[in-house]
Structure 1
Amino acid sequence: MLAIRRQLVSSQSKGILTRSRYISRYNSSVATGNVGSTVNTFKTAVETAEKLVQPPSSKIFNDPFSIVSHEMSNLAKSIASLIGSGHPTLNRVSSYYFEAEGKNVRPLIVLLLSKALSNIPLDQRNRIKIDTYDVTDQPHYQGTPTATSVAGKSVDDSISPLAILHGINPRVILDPLSKPMDKLPSFDAVNGILPKQRRLAEIVEMIHTASLLHDDVIDLSDSRRGRPSGNIAFTNKMAVLAGDFLLGRASVAIARLRNPEVIELLSTTIANLVEGEFMQLKNTVMKNEDTNIIDNDGESKSIPTPTGKVPTEQHEYSITPPQQVDHITNVDAAFEYYLHKTYLKTASLMSKSSRAAAVLSGSQDDIIEKCYEFGRNLGLCFQIVDDLLDYTSSDATFGKPSQADLKLGLATAPILFAWKEDPTLGELIGRKFNQPGDVEIARNAVQKYKGLEKTKEMAEQYCYKALDNLRVLPESDARSALEFLTNSILTRTK
C-alpha cells in the first residue's frame, strides 16, 4: 500500500493526477456497491490506483494527441485548403514543411486547451455569445440601422466579394490564383471544440511554419525536420516568398474569425516574430544601437544615418557601453534581453493563441488571463529547452543543425550562465564568437560552470508555473493531457 501511495504522490508532483480525482473515483465505486468487504476495499483501491497511474483503456497520458487525434490527423489537409494557390510551384514550396513530420506543438496546445475549456459550464462562459460558429451579436462593426453585422457571418463566408478578393471572376476562371477556402465541419458536441477554435489551430501552425521558412533563410540552415530546408530544396527567394504567402493566407483566415480581440492577438504575434528576429540579430545588450551590422557571411554593413524626418527611438534595452557598467549588471540585462527575445520569437505565439482559444470559448477574464500565462510560461520553457538541446543533441536527433547557436553568434542561456561566473566571456559574446577558437572556449566554459544544468533548472521553473496556471481549469482528461505535455517538454530530445 505504501508503494501505491508513493506512485500516486509521484504522479501528483508531475501534474498528471490529482488527489480529488482519485478520491472521487474510489468513492464512486463505494457508492455503487462494488466495495463490500475489507478485502474488496483494498482490491478496489489497488485497481483504482493502477488505473490512475497507468490507464489501460486510454493513451492520453502517453500521447496527448489521442484526445484530439481526429483534428490533428486532418491538420495538414485543412491547411492545404487554406493555402489555396493555383500556382503549382508556390503550392509546392508553401506546403513543403507540412509534408514532413513536425512536432505540431502549437496547434496541439490550442486544441487541447479548447477541449479543456469546454468543460467549464456554459453559464460561466458568457463573456461573448457562442454557438456552433462562435458568432457574436455584439456590434463590433457599426453601419446603417438595417445593415447586417459582419460578426453575424460564419467563418466560411468571405467579407468582400470573391471577385474582388481574387482579382478575377472565380466563376469564369476554374483555377484562380487564390482559391476560396474549404468549409469547416460543423460543431462536434461530443468533442467540445468549436469550429473557430479548430481554425485557430490551423492559423497558428501556418504562422509558425512561415516563420520557419524565413528563419532558415536568415540562419543559412540546410536541414529542417530531417530533410533539406526550404531554402536549400528550392531557393532563398522562393522560401521567403512562400513564407510571405502563408502569412497572407493566414491573415485572411484570421479576419474570418470575426472576433476583433482575436484578430488583434494573432496579428500582433506576426509583428512579435519579426521583433524577436531583429533582437536576435543584435543578440545582446553589449552595445548601443549598432551603426554597423555583420551578416551571416561575416560582411560588415553600415546602417544609414536617420534623416530625422521619421522619429526613431533607441530600443529599451540600449544601455551604456559595458566598460562603464559593472559585470553583474551587464549579465542581468543580457538575461532580461534574452528572455524578452525568447518571448517574442516563441512564447508570443503560444501565449496569444492560448488566450485567443479562451476568448472564443466565451470564458471570463480570469480564465483568459490564466490561459495566456500558461502559454507564456510553456513557450519560454519550450525555447529554453530548445536552446539546451542545441548544445546536447546530434543533427540526426534534433532534425536540424545542432550546436548552431554559437556558430551564429547567439548568446543563449547556457553561455549567459557561464558569463555570470567568468567576466572574460563578455568579450567573446560581444563579438559574437567570430574569432578563431571563440566557439570552443565558450563550449568549455558552459561545461565548466554548469551552464546546461542551470539552464535546465530555469526551464523547470517555467514548467512548474505553466502547470500552476492550468489549475484554474476544471479537472478533465484534456487538462491532464496538457499537464503531461507540459512535463514532457522538459524531457524531449528534439
Structure 2
Amino acid sequence: MRRWACTSVQKTFSFQNQPVTRCSRRHYSVQAQKVEHTRTRPDPFPIQHEPAPTAKTRPDPYALVAPELTHLRGSLLSLLGSAHPGLSEIARYYFLHPSKQLRSLIVLLFSHATNGLGRNWEEKRWAAVSEAETGLSEELDRPLKLPDVLNNWHPSMPNNTASFEDVFELRRPGMREPPPAPPQSTKHSIPHLASPPLLLPVQLRLAQIVEMIHIASRLHHDVQDTTTDDEPPQEGFGNKLTILGGDFLLGRASAALSRLGESEVVELVAGVISNIVEGEMLRMKGMESPSLGQIGGTKTLDDAWDIYLRKTYLNTASLMAKSARAAVVLGGCREGEVWKDIAYAYGRYLGIAYQLVEDTLDYESGGENLTPGLATGPALFAGEEHPELRPLIQRNFAEDGDIELAISYVSKSAGIERTRLLAQSYADKAREVLQLLPDSETKIALDVLTDCAVNRTW
C-alpha cells in the first residue's frame, strides 16, 4: 500500500466563509498553494481541562439521551402513520439504525453541553417552567396533534361551519403573554453549566423538527428519474408516496418551527432547507437551463473538488451545523457569545467527516448504490492517480459503463484510504473545537461521537 502524506490545504468558499481541508499528495496545483491563515479565537473564559478519560469511562452518546430519542422516535412514527399507513413503513425504515438519529442526537447533546452558559439562560429556563405550570407548553404540540390539521379546516377558523356558502369568520388567535420576569436572585454573571443537565421543551421540539427535515430530504433524495429505465429505489415506496411523504414532513416541521419563538432559529432552519435543495442540484448528473441549455460537469479536478466539498456541506453538514447552533440559541445564547460558533463549527466538521465516510462505503460495498452524478472523494483521489478517469468525472459518469470503470479505477488506487484520511482530519477539527467547552460528561460524549461518525462504531 502506498504511503500518502496528509497535508492541509485551505480553500475559502463564499457560501459559509469557512476553510475547507482535503488530503492530497505533496504536489499541488497553483490554486491549491494559496493558503489562508485562520485566526484562533481565545477561550471565552479560563477552562480547566482534565486528562482524557479511558475508554472504559467514556460515555455512550446515545445512552445519555436515550429516553428523549425514544420519545422522539415514537412520536414521529405516530405522526407519519396518522397521515397515511404507507408512511409508517417509510418511517420505520429510517429509524432502524441509531445513525438515522444522528442529527437530533447532536441537538440534544449540545443542548446539554451548553445550557446555562448563555446570558439569557435563566430567562429561558424560567419561561419554560412558567409555561409548563400554566399549560402554555402544550402549544408546542398543537401543529402535530390537533385533528384539525389532519382535515381541511383552517386552525384559526371555526370547525362547526356547515358549508362553504358563507365566508369563514376569522377567529383571532389569542395573544401569548410573556412569562413573568425571573427573580433577581436567579440571575448570574459567571457562565456555568446547568446542574443537573436540563433540556428545554423547545430544544426537544427542535430535535424533532431536525429529524423531520432529514427524513424529508432522504425521501426526496430517493426519488427516481422516470425518464430512464432505472430500477425503483431499493426501499420500493414509489415516487408519488415518497414525494408526498417528504412534503408532509416539511409542512409539519414548518408549522412546529414557527412556535419555537426565536427568529434566529427560524432563519437557521429555513436556511437548511434551501441548502439541501442547492446540494441536490449540484449532485444531479445534468440540468437543463432555458438560457444555457444542458449544464455539464466540471472542467478540472480542482473545480470538481470545490463543487464536491460544497455539495457535501449543503447536503449533509449544514443540517448538523445549523441545528446545533439553533439548539444553543434556544438555550439563551445571545449575539456575540462564542457558544453558538462552537456548535456550528462542530456540526460542520462532523457533518463533512460523516459524509466522506459514507462516500467510501459506496465503493467498498461494490458500487451498488452508485448512480450517474457528481464524483465523490474516492473517485476524485483516483483521478489524481489515473488521468484516464478524469473525462468520466467531467461528464459526471453520464455514459454507459462509466460507473463500472470508475469502480475499477478506484479499486486500483488509494482513493478510499485517502478519503478516510480526509474524513479523519475533519473529525479531528471537530474534536479540537470541543476544547472550548467547559468539561462535562456531555462534552466527552460529543468527542466519542466523532469516533462513531468516522469508524461507524454505532
Contact 1:408 1:432 in 2 (8 A): yes
1-side partners of 2:254 and 2:153: how far apart?
20
Instruction: Give the AA of the match of 2:76.
Output: I
> Could you say which residue in structure 1 is the equivalent of 2:264?
261
1-side partners of 2:354 and 2:203: how far apart?
22
| 1:167-196 per-position Cα deviation (integer Å, ceiling 9, x unaligned) | 4388968xxxxxxxxxxxxxx974411111
Equivalent residue of 1:490, what SS? helix
2-side partners of 1:348 and 1:210: how far apart?
15
User: Which one of the candidate residues 47, 50, 62 is aligned to 1:21?
Assistant: 50
Contact 1:418 1:449 in 2 (8 A): yes
> Could you say which residue in structure 2 is the equivalent of 1:201?
207
> Could you say which residue in structure 2 is the equivalent of 1:117?
114
Q: 1:117 to 1:127 in 2, by over 3 A?
A: closer
Contact 1:134 1:360 in 2 (8 A): no
Instruction: Give the AA of the match of 2:390.
Output: G
Q: 1:272 to 1:133 in 2, by over 3 A?
A: farther
- Higher-Rg member (1/2): 1
> Could you say which residue in structure 1 is the equivalent of 2:310?
340
User: Which one of the candidate residues 112, 123, 132 is aligned to 1:129?
Assistant: 123
Is 2:77 aligned against 1:92? no
> Could you say which residue in structure 1 is the equivalent of 2:321?
351
| 1:75-134 per-position Cα deviation (integer Å, ceiling 9, x unaligned) | 11222455584x44465366343553352111111111111112x44xx43289312555
> Could you say which residue in structure 2 is the equivalent of 1:386?
358
1-side partners of 2:67 and 2:409: how far apart?
47
Residues 98-113 of structure 1 mapped to structure 2, 5 A cutoff = 98=94, 100-103=96-99, 104-113=101-110
2-side partners of 1:245 and 1:164: how far apart?
11
Contact 2:316 2:351 in 1 (8 A): yes
1-side partners of 2:368 and 2:122: how far apart?
47
1-side partners of 2:280 and 2:429: how far apart?
26
Contact 1:393 1:493 in 2 (8 A): no
User: How far 1:54 moved relative to its partner?
Assistant: 4.4
2-side partners of 1:348 and 1:339: how far apart?
12
TM-score (norm 1): 0.65
User: Which one of the candidate residues 394, 398, 404 is aligned to 2:369?
Assistant: 404
1-side partners of 2:369 and 2:77: how far apart?
31
> Could you say which residue in structure 1 is the equivalent of 2:409?
445
Instruction: Give the AA of the match of 1:155.
Output: L
> Could you say which residue in structure 2 is the equivalent of 1:239?
242
User: How far 1:259 moved relative to its partner?
Assistant: 0.8
TM-score (norm 2): 0.70
Equivalent residue of 1:449, what SS? coil
Is 2:344 aligned against 1:372? yes
Is 2:216 aligned against 1:210? yes
Q: 1:167 to 1:267 in 2, by over 3 A?
A: same
RMSD: 3.8
User: How far 1:333 moved relative to its partner?
Assistant: 1.5
Count of residues in correspondence between the two structures = 365
Instruction: Give the AA of the match of 2:204.
Output: R
Equivalent residue of 2:203, what SS? helix
> Could you say which residue in structure 2 is the equivalent of 1:285?
none
Identity %: 40
2-side partners of 1:334 and 1:135: how far apart?
51
- Consecutive unaligned residues in structure 1, runs of 5 or more: 1-17, 23-48, 137-150, 174-187, 283-289, 294-302, 307-311, 323-329, 395-401
2-side partners of 1:279 and 1:251: how far apart?
25
Residues 54-203 of structure 1 mapped to structure 2, 5 A cutoff = 54-55=55-56, 61=59, 63-80=60-77, 83=80, 85=82, 87-89=83-85, 91-92=87-88, 95-98=91-94, 100-103=96-99, 104-118=101-115, 120-121=116-117, 124-126=118-120, 129-131=123-125, 155-156=140-141, 167-168=152-153, 190-203=196-209
User: How far 1:375 moved relative to its partner?
Assistant: 0.5
